[in-house]
Amino acid sequence: MSALPSNARWAAQELGSVELGDARSSRRVVKVFTQMLNSPGKSIPQCSRSVAEAKAFYRLLDVEELTETVLFEVHRQAVLRRAQSSGCGVLLAIQDTTACNFNTHHSLEGLGSISSSKVRPSIAGLHVHSTLLSSADEDAVFGLLGAKFYARKPPGKGRKVGARNREPIESKESMRWLESLELAGQARQWLESASESSPAQPPLIVSVGDREADIYELLAEAQQHREQGLGLLVRSQHNRSLEGEEAQMWQHLAESEQAGSLTLHLPRSQGEKAREATLSVRFAAVTLAVPVKKAKYRKKDTPVEARVVELREQDAPAGKGVCWRLLSTLKVDTLERALELARWHAKRWQIEEFHRILKTGCRVEARQMRSLERLRPMMALDMLVACRIMGMSAGARQSPQDPATDWLDEDEINALEAYESEGKKPAKNKNAPPMSLGAAVKSIARLGGHLGRKSDGHPGAQVLWQGLTKLDTITAVWRRLRTQQTYG
């Protein structure tokens, strides 16, 4: 086992190669990141052991070379190395946007509006568009390919109706979806070059988005990379016109032959009881026509060849029931392939979970910074902490038999065992195997309030970060008591 604690090892692996023009600042990044990993969601004074350490942390955030771009670029290299070593054949680059509320930070300049409500249009904050890399067929989260922070600009006064449709996508917020696709493409190129000396084929990378990603320019761009191991999978929002056909896409799909059916257990939600639902499955190859306004104002003339998959609940009242329509540049020619794409898109919940950890677990919205130049790198570090928590939770589901020492240091494991034994010295067999990751996660989850009943399922990221925060305190007490026992 390495002499370094697990969090310090991971911090060095993620950010050890960062270059800020000064060796001391580069080393400080790893140190403060380790402190944040030890105390997720804690403020800078709380995760620092002294006033001097807290001041050094704040001085680091004032270093001009320390930006979120630099941090994400260094982290991306570690993410791709993990993805390559995993041997996964298909990777998902899941992208989505969340809004961080900094409305109470009155001295913070450069924020934009995050409210879509006409009642309260002045809520100030930042939007964050993240791209999370995970495995399509295994329970593994590798980390972030990147993230974009931006403040929404207020709409111009006196803007003519329809003027937005005449603007190039490069000047719109929607460009973030294409930038994320570019990150996925760069990742595919890196993995391809890294596998030149290996007989294994580089993995397929699929960019996954929700209905907001149903954008003509994104579909057209993804079409150009179809043969380069890069695909796109989004949920359909627009009933698009088809090239050379009168029927629109959804009508064309409804008239196609049913390929099969699927029975799912739907949990209760929004006042509805849990139920078994039978979904009909249809898929079709379509050629999407260029939207009229894109052709008129932007002179676009390239139709998009795509595949559309529909999963619709049978015997459901009109306007109700489950209905998924997925749009992809990937080939779909069998029922199994259609269901595979549906399963991949179902993993989009990971980005929602990631953003929830960022805001609730890492408490990024509670960061008190006097400028965006300080806030942005701090937010980036919080996002990397969230990646660590998600990776640990997924690792415990995928490989619970792995040793806990990959994620926890010796003091944390000993403190956890002592706490679990309720103060009694745990009986240890010298030949006993080390604590497994699955057992450690269950113990940490109990600290976070997970009861471990059959109906509770596997511990999620929320109880895990709550338990890790409590474990940090328990470990600090354990270290202090262990030191005191050596006196005399």
pLDDT at 471: 87
pTM value surpassing 0.85: yes
pLDDT at 2: 45
pLDDT at 27: 94
Domains located in the chain, CATH noted:
1-66 (1.10.246.40), 68-154+170-354 (3.90.350.10), 399-488 (1.10.740.10)
Pair type for strands 275-288 and 304-313: antiparallel
- Write down the H helix ranges in 265-371: 292-297, 335-346, 349-356
pLDDT at 118: 59
Residues 6 or more apart from 339 whose CB is under 8 A from it? 262, 281
pLDDT at 480: 81
Question: Residue 136 CB: number of other CB atoms within 10 A?
Answer: 21
pLDDT in tens, 269-285: 666 777 788 899 999 99
Which residue ranges of the chain lie beneath pLDDT 50? Answer: 1-2, 487-488
pLDDT at 1: 38
- Write down the H helix ranges in 19-67: 23-38, 44-47, 51-61
pLDDT at 30: 95
436 bridge partner residues: 403
Torsion of the alpha carbons at 71, 74, 79 and 85, rounded to the nearest 10:
-160
Please report, in angstroms and rounded to a whole number, the separation of the first and last CA atoms in the chain: 30
